Structure 1
Amino acid sequence: MGRFLPRRFLVVLGIATLAGAALATNYSLWINGRTGGGVAGNYADFTYWGPGSTAAGVNKKAVNWDGYNRISDQNYLIRNALDCYCTGPNWCYVAVHSAGNLMIGYTLSMYGGSARYKKNATPGSDGTCANSDGTTQTGWNIKWVDVAAGAAGGSELANAGDWALSEPLVADLKTATARAMYDHNNTRGKMFYLWAGAKGTAYSFVLPGQDDEAIAYHSAGGISGSGGGSYCNPSDWLCNDLTLGTAAAEGGKAKWTNHSVVFRDTSEAYNHYTNGNWQGTVGLVRTDMVNFAK
């Protein structure tokens, strides 16, 4: 964590100084992955993650989507939340899990340069907020994105049909589809901090390199390219290392722009699942949000 504390401190300090006069409020938005669980538009429903009473960053909000339908079909729910809490004087920290990574990446790339009405951060029952003053801004006020077990590069489990093929989302999670869905390098200047788990067991024969039972390192580690490669911890001599930070992986393959690996699971202790109690790499991201999203 200490590697990027100075950068984050300066970002927070600068924003607080500039926006203080406007009574800015900071929010922590949590975007779920596949299977969903929370009620769409209910920003207090943390069913997907774990107990809602658990600390998870300043003014935490659950940005729920169904985790079943395609990214493009459900994306309006993410835009609604970003409009509500991340416009005008207000700023957001964003945390995502699994397919939530695909969702926020798609949102920023496809809509992050659009005009957004500034909202009043008081959502109605449908999760939308009213305009605050009738003016607009370009994109959203986002400080950074924390990513647990990111699926922006897709999963070979979707390729192989290990997940229910009747789920529209599974089509999006195929590696070729996920990687071609939007420009992953276009984060609108926002940093994506990545946590990659490696406690893979049952599906290791399907997922290349190190994995957390659902997502391989090539995706969780933000490795660029049209297809997934095989990346591992330094102790594994059978494939190239997933490097920390923004540096290219061993073998020279670059990470997507503004993607930095904060955690690589060298002890192979963290799997993909929250288990309804903020577990897996989500638990590590939650701790980071508590420490830095203030």
Structure 2
Amino acid sequence: MRRFLSRRFPLVVLGAAALVGAAFATNYSLWINGRTGGGVAGNYADFTYWGPASTAAGVNKKAVNWDGYNHISDQNYLIRNALDCYCTGTNWCYVAAHSAGDLMIGYTLSLYGGSTRYKKNATPGPDGSCANSDGSTQTGWNIKWVNVAAGAGGGSELANAGDWALSEPLVSDLKTGTARALYDHNNTRAKMFYMWAGSKGTLYSFVLPGQDDEAVAYHSAGGISGSGGASYCNPSDWFCNDLTLGTAPAEGGKAKWSNHSVVFRDDAEAYNHYTNGNWQGTVGLVRQDMVNNAK
């Protein structure tokens, strides 16, 4: 015998289901460290690299720790674990990266951003991985945008010159020619990379071309394309092409990588590369932007 149901009933059920789904949708702020590391891999509450964990740094902040020592390719599974945990299913992420963390997230999106990912439950185990939520999959990750402080996606001449320990596998990745050939920097899977470039550099100015923050030059922090680094500066420097704001090519016509936009150029030469264990340098500017916009 056919059971009678009001036409309203399916609508009520669907509406409730939608509300339940919305209730479990969560946004997260993922912070990807650079060289030297410091936090425990898989512990998303360990902000040792950045500064006090009590400091506001975007909605539901998570520290995506990797060792900052080994090759990008060897440590990349840790970033994929975090993205699977927090950026699949109904959950979305904002990503912040510092220094070699730029190389790490760029590598991840270019090589794996089009791969099939299982939707996860956002409840990590001790190793930082999460269990499948319902067995379904999706393509890539739900990322709203990427903020980059002092990005090393274009490498650093300090790695070329041997100013950093040559025994570190990561240093070989950070050579300008290697970093720029490590993956397709234009392939961000349509995610915007917003770049903060500091220029309070003095110690290594004879090694780093143009303006620098003592670790990376503007060509890298500004997302300038090409196979090698070149000199880019603030408008006050008459002897060097300007690093332009936004996505426009730099003075002289060199393009930025696709979906890379300079939102801060350190015209006052006030910000260096280092967090100093207290969210300092250009990281401090990115942190404030995450507080304001990663919600």
Matched, 1:261 2:262: yes
**What's the CA shift for 1:20?**
6.9
Structure 1 residue runs of 4 or more that deviate by more than 2 Å after TM superposition: 17-23
Matched, 1:24 2:25: yes
1:215-235 superposed Cα distances (whole Å, 9 cap, x missing partner):
000000000000001000000
RMSD, aligned α-carbons: 1.3
Q: Which residue of 2 aligns with 1:118?
A: 119
* Counterpart code for 1:111: Y
Is the alpha carbon distance of 1:111 and 1:238 closer, same or farther for their aligned partners in structure 2, counting shifts above 3 Å?
Answer: same
Q: Which residue of 1 aligns with 2:206?
A: 205
Partner secondary structure for residue 238 of structure 2 = coil
Q: Which residue of 1 aligns with 2:132?
A: 131
Q: Which residue of 1 aligns with 2:10?
A: none
Q: Which residue of 1 aligns with 2:88?
A: 87
1:79-116 superposed Cα distances (whole Å, 9 cap, x missing partner):
00000000000000000000000000000000000000
Q: Which residue of 1 aligns with 2:219?
A: 218
Partner secondary structure for residue 119 of structure 2 = strand
* Counterpart code for 2:44: Y
Q: Percent identity?
A: 89
Q: Which residue of 1 aligns with 2:4?
A: none
Partner secondary structure for residue 104 of structure 2 = helix
* Alpha-carbon contact 1:85-1:91 (below 8 Å) kept: yes
**What's the CA shift for 1:126?**
0.5
* Counterpart code for 1:210: Q
Partner secondary structure for residue 210 of structure 2 = coil
Separation of aligned partners in 1, 2:133 and 2:289:
31
Q: Which residue of 2 aligns with 1:184?
A: 185
* Counterpart code for 2:236: S
Separation of aligned partners in 2, 1:90 and 1:254:
33
If the length of structure 2 is used for normalisation, what is the TM-score? 0.93
Report which of the two structures shows the higher radius of gyration computed on alpha carbons.
2
**What's the CA shift for 1:23?**
2.9
* Alpha-carbon contact 1:232-1:242 (below 8 Å) kept: yes
Q: Which residue of 1 aligns with 2:53?
A: 52
Partner secondary structure for residue 30 of structure 1 = strand
**What's the CA shift for 1:142?**
0.1
Is the alpha carbon distance of 1:215 and 1:25 closer, same or farther for their aligned partners in structure 2, counting shifts above 3 Å?
Answer: same
5+ residue gaps, structure 1, are 1-16
* Alpha-carbon contact 1:231-1:239 (below 8 Å) kept: yes
**What's the CA shift for 1:19?**
11
Separation of aligned partners in 1, 2:19 and 2:34:
34
Separation of aligned partners in 2, 1:122 and 1:242:
42
Separation of aligned partners in 2, 1:21 and 1:236:
51
For 1:219-238, list aligned pairs within 5 A: 219-238=220-239
Number of aligned residue pairs: give it. Answer: 278
Matched, 1:102 2:103: yes
Is the alpha carbon distance of 1:141 and 1:19 closer, same or farther for their aligned partners in structure 2, counting shifts above 3 Å?
Answer: farther
* Counterpart code for 1:168: P
5+ residue gaps, structure 2, are 1-17
1:144-177 superposed Cα distances (whole Å, 9 cap, x missing partner):
0000000000000000000000000000000000
Partner secondary structure for residue 283 of structure 1 = helix
